[in-house]
Amino acid sequence: MANEDKSARYQRLRRRAAVAATLVDLLLPIALAVSGLATAIGNVVSGPGAPGPLAVVCLVLLVCAVRTAIVVAIGVQTELASERRYRGHERSTASWIFERIFGAAGTAAAVVLAAIVVQRAGLLSPVWWWLWVSLLAAVVVLAAVQWLPRLLSPGAADVHPIAKRPDLDERLRLLAARVGTARVEVLEWRRRSGAADAVAMLVGLGSSNRVLVAQAVLDSHTDEEVEVIVAHELAHHRHRDVWWSGAAVVTTLTLGFYAAARLLEALPVWWGVGGAADLAGLLIVATVCRGVFVAMTPVVNALSRAQERRADRDALAWTNNAPALVRTLRRLSAAHMADDRPSLMTEAFFGRHPSVRDRIQAAEAWAARANVPAAHPTQSGAAR
């Protein structure tokens, strides 16, 4: 019980940080646009008229710097504090802040590029810019999903064949062949400790697909447990779930750009916003896109939870091993301090997976239907 309360408090602090960051994303650009600061930056850097790329770069870097300062300050009080209080992390505040700033710099570079593209498109095609930018976004997302596996390959990243457990390697090969996904390689991903909590993941599209299993999982889970984890990922491959997730991102972006274009057209002339080519207009595009992402989150998360439930069902059908799935879910839930009983609102906005309680109940129901035990008395105790 005490552990459940701790998990709920830990997750609540993390959610608070995410909500604060989203509010900053929505309010900061609007404040800069309405205050006239964006227009002033444009006038100073590129003179009157359409702002040049340097003005766009200055504006985006200002927004990113202020956002990072606010979000990091909030994060120290919420995320870092909760990591220390509930998970016993011993990292120094300075190294945590450095990692956040490093991540924010990468994001800022991508946002600069995106802003220049949107602004140029707004200049060249004041009516249809949202369509051209959406098409380009689709190409970029597709290319990123195709390209990611090459960054996460043996040689390019700390990714290796599962050599130290040949029996397991053979078992996973047989599993992949049995379910018609023999081309999908299963590899070990040696992640540094403290890295995000992914256990295993499917990367790539079509023939570039591979399943990466975190080293920590291979070090601590039995062959049966790893098999059911990998079966779950292979189910994502069978159903092209990576593709659907990419399509959801592109659809949301397109809706965001379209809504921003309509809003910019509807703004009264005396606001002085000249469309997406204008710096103030660019900030409005950013806010509307972020707002549409937030509004679409419950839909995208519901789609994701449906994919996860289906992957669990397939993993059970392919391994016939509900006890292994239940054990794995219990262990991972404890290790990651998952909130077992999220509220409806929390599940809608944060639940990319169904709650662990729901997944265990589903596995037990599957076992009852298939008439096999859901928990093995001799193994469940040892595995916790």
Sites of contact with Zn ion (CB under 5 A): 308, 311
Nearer to Zn ion among residue 330 and residue 376 (C-beta): 330
Angle subtended at Cα 327 by Cα 322 and Cα 333, rounded to the nearest 5 degrees:
125
Nearer to Zn ion among residue 246 and residue 275 (C-beta): 246
| CA dist., res. 233 & res. 311, Å (int) | 7
Shortest distance, position 353 Cβ to Zn ion, whole Å: 7
- 187: β partners: 161, 212
Shortest distance, position 164 Cβ to Zn ion, whole Å: 25
| CA dist., res. 228 & res. 312, Å (int) | 9
289-303 b/e (C-beta count within 10 Å ≥ 16 → b): bbbbbeebbeebbeb
Nearer to Zn ion among residue 28 and residue 324 (C-beta): 324
Amino acid (one-letter) located at 355: S
8-state DSSP, 154: B
Shortest distance, position 179 Cβ to Zn ion, whole Å: 15
φ, ψ of residue 214 in degrees (nearest 5): -65, 140
Cβ atoms 108, 64 nearer than 8 A:
yes
Number of Cβ within 10 Å of residue 40's Cβ equals 12
| CA dist., res. 102 & res. 37, Å (int) | 27
Shortest distance, position 329 Cβ to Zn ion, whole Å: 12
Shortest distance, position 83 Cβ to Zn ion, whole Å: 24
Nearer to Zn ion among residue 273 and residue 315 (C-beta): 315
In 3D, which of 359, 361, 324 has the Cα closest to residue 338?
A: 359
Number of Cβ within 10 Å of residue 48's Cβ equals 8
Question: CB-based contacts of 118: which residues, under 8 Å, 6+ apart?
Answer: 129, 133, 257, 276, 282, 285
Shortest distance, position 384 Cβ to Zn ion, whole Å: 22
Nearer to Zn ion among residue 278 and residue 312 (C-beta): 312
* Residues 38/42/48/52 CA torsion (nearest 10 deg): -140
Shortest distance, position 352 Cβ to Zn ion, whole Å: 9
Nearer to Zn ion among residue 129 and residue 350 (C-beta): 350
Quote the crossing angle between the two packed helices 2-34 and 37-46, to the nearest 10°: 60
Shortest distance, position 278 Cβ to Zn ion, whole Å: 42
Nearer to Zn ion among residue 284 and residue 311 (C-beta): 311
Nearer to Zn ion among residue 83 and residue 308 (C-beta): 308
